[in-house]
């Protein structure tokens, strides 16, 4: 497993690298800013995850997040930040982050959060209410019950697209799986976001996991 840490403080990078290397066979590389991170990603595209600080010199973390997720949509980006207020967390998810981990978290909590992201989920601090929807969501009467996509106004095809999103597939990979054009997948994705009352893939995944939407 290969992880890229993007953090401008050397001591923090070293500490994170030590924590990440305590579990399994992990290769950790480091970058002090977004420009350096993009150079590393362009040179080596086999990363499994990027851990990105928001407060970076030269280019702010949100702009860096947007660039990385647009250029490398198959690599999940997790934000690590000392600014863990709800608006910041929500903004990070809306910009395509696959997770948000406050810097106040202990090492074990960080590792658990990254494990969730690497398994295809979106990690959100449980103490934060992250996603506000623009309509009344169905309520689960049973914690173990799953909801059909049709209960959210999704077609069967949109349910299939959402299912592949939950597995971490990029739009191109979804198109190949379903034998569609990438443009058609983007149209389905936009319809999914509208039906779920969200504005990004990350938020859609949060909603799908929260309500147990199963295609």
Run of H or E including 78: strand 77-81
Instruction: Give residue limits of the domains in the chain.
Output: 2-118, 149-211
The pTM score is 0.61
2-118 is classed in which CATH architecture?
3-Layer(aba) Sandwich (3.40)
Model confidence pLDDT, tens digit, residues 153-204: 889 999 999 999 888 889 999 999 999 999 999 999 999 888 877 777 877 8
Phi-psi region of 153 (alpha: psi -120 to 50; beta: other; left: phi over 0): left
Q: Of 69, 120, 79, whose CA–CA distance to 99 is shortest?
A: 79
Q: pLDDT above 90 covers what percent of the chain?
A: 40
pLDDT > 70: percent of the chain: 87
pLDDT at 133 over 60: no
User: What are 77-110's pLDDT values in tens digits?
Assistant: 999 988 877 778 888 887 888 899 998 899 999 9
CATH code for the domain defined by 149-211: 1.10.10.10
User: What distance in Å separates the CA atoms of residue 93 and residue 199, rounded to the nearest whole number?
Assistant: 9
Residue 25 in this model has a pLDDT that exceeds 80: no
Is 140 within 8 Å of 212 (Cβ atoms)?
Answer: yes
């Amino acid at each position: 497993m290969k992880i890229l840490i993007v953090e401008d403080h050397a001591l923090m990078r070293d500490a994170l690298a030590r924590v990440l290397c305590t579990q399994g066979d992990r290769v950790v590389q480091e970058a002090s800013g977004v420009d350096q991170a993009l150079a590393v990603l362009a040179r080596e595209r086999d990363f499994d995850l990027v851990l990105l600080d928001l407060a970076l010199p030269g280019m702010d973390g949100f702009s860096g997040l947007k660039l990385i997720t647009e250029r490398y949509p198959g690599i999940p980006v997790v934000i690590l930040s000392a600014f863990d207020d709800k608006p910041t967390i929500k903004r990070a998810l809306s910009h395509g982050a696959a997770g948000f981990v406050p810097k106040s978290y202990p090492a074990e909590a960080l590792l658990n959060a990254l494990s969730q992201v690497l398994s295809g989920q979106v990690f959100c601090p449980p103490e934060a209410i992250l996603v506000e929807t623009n309509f009344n969501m169905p309520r689960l009467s049973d914690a173990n019950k799953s909801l059909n996509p049709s209960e959210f106004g999704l077609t069967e095809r949109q349910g299939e697209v959402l299912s592949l999103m939950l597995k971490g597939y990029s739009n191109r990979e979804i198109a190949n799986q379903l034998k569609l054009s990438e443009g058609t997948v983007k149209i389905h994705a936009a319809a999914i976001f509208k039906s779920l009352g969200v504005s990004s893939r990350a938020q859609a995944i949060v909603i799908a996991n929260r309500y147990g939407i199963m295609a």
